[in-house]
Amino acid sequence: MGERKPKLLFVSNFYDYKGIPELIELLTEAHKHGYDFTCTIAGEENHITSVALRQLIDKNGLTKKVKYVGSVIGDNLIELYKQSNIFIYPTKKDAMPLVILEAMRAGLAILSNPVGAIPDMIGNDHETLPTPENLISLLTNPAKTRKLGEQNRKTFEQKFTIDKFNSQLLKIFVR
């Protein structure tokens, strides 16, 4: 039985700095080189509208590969993460993004810029940067994608669960 087609995911409100044009550029590069994937984009319109997003998708020949599903919450969002195996978040600024924690918890490989606390969350390895080379490496190496996803899930469980948070908070108050 062969490997399933890689399923990519982007989740965020559509602010300019969240990297939607960069995401589309990245996907376009992979598509131009013939790599097979699907990408789901979920989020609420803001600086970038769904019309502008669809125009970017169409202009770059990604209509059959990229699907915009609007704002997704709750169990539906959890299901999106479960159905995916690579999370791409090319944001230009952020603090400690919940979407990274959600992707880690779901066991996804993550490509993101090293801004805010993101390097502390997923590491500061060049392999986690949202570059065409790194995306192609994940698209062509399912074992590597699984390994990175498992590492992210393990890191989440070791550092970011509510029990870990409460334990750290208690240590602060006990001082």
Show the beta-strand stretches assigned E in 36-139.
Answer: 38-42, 66-70, 86-89, 109-112
Contact residues for 113 (Cβ-Cβ < 8 A; gap 6+): 19, 89, 90, 91, 92, 129, 130
| Alpha-carbon gap, residue 163 to 175, rounded angstroms | 19
Mean of the per-residue pLDDT values for the chain? 96
Domains of the chain by range and CATH?
7-174 (3.40.50.2000)
CB of 109 closer than 8 Å to CB of 149: yes
Burial (CB count within 10 angstroms: exposed 0-12, middle 13-18, buried 19+), residue 50: middle
The answer on pLDDT for 49 being more than 60 is: yes
Q: What is the pLDDT of residue 1?
A: 40
Residue 142 CA to residue 139 CA, distance in Å, equals 7
Amino acid identity for residue 133 in this structure: E
Do residues 91 and 12 lie in contact, with contact meaning Cβ atoms separated by under 8 Å? yes
Average of per-residue pLDDT across 93-98: 97
Give the full edge-to-edge strand order of the sheet including 86-89: 66-70, 38-42, 7-11, 86-89, 109-112
Q: pLDDT, tens digit, for every residue of 140-171?
A: 999 999 999 999 999 999 999 999 889 888 88
Q: Is 109 helix (H, G, I), strand (E, B) or coil?
A: strand
